[in-house]
Amino acid sequence: DAKTTQPNSMESNEEEPVHLPCNHSTISGTDYIHWYRQLPSQGPEYVIHGLTSNVNNRMASLAIAEDRKSSTLILHRATLRDAAVYYCIPWRQGGSEKLVFGKGMKLTVNP
């Protein structure tokens, strides 16, 4: 399985954009990049995923580097509700289909 590296924590201010980085230098060509988040005392929540090109949805944007060794989750306007632990997870189609979580990165949003 590909390894990921995320900062342990980040802080942002409310209503400002937030860029959450993830390094996945050992990713293979068929690994999708998934992002999940976990709010306090809740189960994880799917945020976004992509393979090669940048992706957008109502929650966030995902920017994937051209060499796919890193990606950035972009929250365009952080809210207090975005305070959570964010997980960047490579996922391989056609493999064991398992979603393996690391320790994630804690995002604090200041009012």
Partner 1 sequence: NAGVTQTPKFQVLKTGQSMTLQCAQDMNHEYMSWYRQDPGMGLRLIHYSVGAGITDQGEVPNGYNVSRSTTEDFPLRLLSAAPSQTSVYFCASSYYLPRGGYYGYTFGSGTRLTVV
Note whether 87 binds partner 1 by CB under 8 A: yes
Note whether 53 binds partner 1 by CB under 8 A: no
* 25 Cβ contact partners less than 8 Å away, ≥ 6 residues apart: 3, 69, 70
Separation in Å, CA 25 to CA 83, 84, 93, 107: 27, 25, 18, 23
Residue pair 37/86 in contact (Cβ under 8 Å)? The answer is yes
- Binding map of partner 1 across residues 18-47, x = CB under 8 A, - = no contact: --------------x-x-x-----xxxxxx
Q: Residues 3, 52, 103, 110: which binds partner 1 (CB under 8 A)? A: 103
Note whether 102 binds partner 1 by CB under 8 A: yes
Note whether 86 binds partner 1 by CB under 8 A: no
Size of the site for partner 1 (CB under 8 A): 24
Separation in Å, CA 54 to CA 9, 15, 23, 110, 111: 24, 22, 16, 28, 29
Site residues, partner 1 (CB under 8 A): 32, 34, 36, 42-49, 87, 91, 93-94, 96-104
